[in-house]
Chains A and B, each alone.
Chain A
Amino acid sequence: MRVGFWRSAGLIALRDLRVEIRSGEALTVVFPFAVVASWVAPLATNASPLLLRDLAAPVYWLITLLFGMMVVLRQTAVETRAQRRALALTGLDPAARFAGRSGASGLVLAAVAGTLVIPVIIFYDYRPPSGAWLMALVILLAAAGLAMLGTLAGDVTIGLRARTSLAPLLMAPLAVPLLMGAAQSLESLVAGKSIITWVLVLVIADLGLAAAGVMSARALEEISL
């Protein structure tokens, strides 16, 4: 029986989400760690309330990037070679695997990033812009991009001894267009300006990453086997 692309991707995403729910690592380890990081920054700088408000958005995106990398790269680290081989033997489309894996990582990352807004509001006295749905859209687009980038970086470095240091080194600079798009979108929202240019930057970056992921899926599968 042949399973279609989207159904295969959905099954992979569902499996990854189940693993995540069962282990609860993103919620019980990564998220509290991210909250601690957001709490340490004001302590370390002894910042004034005004300065803290200015720092809120950059610190938020920095923490989202760093802890997002942990969430996304962990997803590719938990799978063993035997599991990957078994998946390949089922005839699963490698592009569907990429889509499913990125989808699941993106959802987990969006949940972590969305929840992280709360401690930033509390600790930094941050006043989020009106138009919560636009803010949610920006977070979702950034999370999708980071998830795809993380899946690519994780797959490219799979099986390497230097993986834990190399994958973030590859991912962080490439995430710059996403972070710039996201940070500038929120800044424009706060200033009451149009965010269409920056949302376009995010959409183009996401589409580029999706194309790269689909195009290189076969080569990535070969690396992982």
Chain B
Amino acid sequence: MKKRLLAVLSGVALGVGLILAFTSPPDLLQGDFVRILYIHVPSAWLAFLAFGVTAAGSIGWLFTRRMSWDRAAEASAEIGVLFTAIALATGMIWGKPVWGTYWDWGDARLATTAMMFFVYLGYLALRRTTTDPRLRARRSSVLGAVAVVQVPLVYFSVKLWRTLHQGLTIRPDGIQMDGAMVAALMANLAAFTLLYATLLIYRTALARIEEAAASERAPARSPVTVPRLGEAEA
């Protein structure tokens, strides 16, 4: 029941976010293309959050060996990869009319985000190679804990390098945006966070069912049979 309520809540929040994104004023320079950022920024934020949760789940598994940590890590990584792909795609779609190109190697944020995407694709590929849940958790928890190093690198890339990507908009000294735009952005951030929580809960539950089904399917360990004469296979 709580899961369903959360799903409905995130659906409503996404609807509100969408309305605000379309009714907020256009940007002076970017025009209506600024609306892409109401999806792009929350997707990027969700990716950071998701990979942080993957790291926490991995470290949690390393210390406690409880499978629930591993399930959360896996579910969060899958969602993170999905939202990183959305952030990359929307960034490129926005980049073409505003920067004049889909991809610019001079943009450190873009390059490091793509790297982060590949790291977590590798994480998911590693998980697919092992069917035994405990062995899979052992292998992937190490990678999940190490891979999170990409997150601060992506976040601070705009500070570390001179880059085409804009700097931090929301800073301790104030927000460099119009009030209506900030409202639309914040509403979408909240909506995407709710969506993440919903997806995480459902995917974790699914992983639990998958594990239970896999353990039921597993064959019994080498049964000892009574030796009989004349039944040897040709």
Chain A residues within CB distance 8 Å of chain B: 149, 152, 155-157, 160-162, 166, 169-170, 172-174, 176-177, 197, 201, 205, 208-209, 212, 215-216, 219-220, 222-223
Given contacts A160-B129, A170-B122, A215-B145, 20 further A-B contacts (CB under 8 A): A152-B143, A157-B129, A157-B139, A162-B125, A166-B126, A170-B119, A170-B123, A170-B126, A173-B119, A173-B150, A174-B147, A176-B112, A176-B115, A208-B146, A208-B149, A215-B59, A216-B62, A216-B145, A219-B142, A220-B142
Chain A residues with CB under 8 Å of B165's CB are none
Our pick among B112, B138, B150 for the contact of A219 (Cβ within 8 Å) is B138
Chain A residues with CB under 8 Å of B150's CB are 173-174, 176-177
**Contact between chains at B138 and A223 (CB < 8 Å):** yes
Chain B residue at minimal CB-CB distance from A217: B142
Interface residues on B, range: 20 to 34
Q: 1/0 per residue B88-115: CB within 8 Å of A?
A: 0000000000000000000000001001
Our pick among A173, A201, A205, A222 for the contact of B122 (Cβ within 8 Å) is A173
B:58-89 near A, CB below 8 Å: 59, 62
Our pick among A152, A173, A222 for the contact of B115 (Cβ within 8 Å) is A173
- Assuming the contacts A152-B146, A208-B149, A219-B142, asked whether A160 and B115 have C-beta atoms less than 8 A apart, the reply is no
Chain A residue at minimal CB-CB distance from B134: A222
Alpha-carbon gap, A149 to B140, bound state (A): 14
Interface centre among A155, A161, A173 (most CB of B within 10 A): A173
B22 within 8 A of A: no
Alpha-carbon gap, A209 to B150, bound state (A): 12
Chain A residue at minimal CB-CB distance from B146: A212
**Contact between chains at A169 and B139 (CB < 8 Å):** no
Interface centre among B126, B141, B146, B160 (most CB of A within 10 A): B146
Shortest beta-carbon distance, A210 to chain B, in Å?
11
Our pick among A162, A209, A223 for the contact of B135 (Cβ within 8 Å) is A223
Show 17 residue pairs from A and B whose CB-CB distance is below 8 angstroms, ordered by the A residue.
Answer: A155-B142, A156-B126, A156-B142, A162-B125, A166-B125, A169-B125, A173-B116, A173-B150, A176-B115, A176-B150, A176-B153, A177-B153, A212-B142, A215-B59, A219-B62, A219-B142, A223-B139
Chain A residues with CB under 8 Å of B139's CB are 156-157, 223
B23 within 8 A of A: no
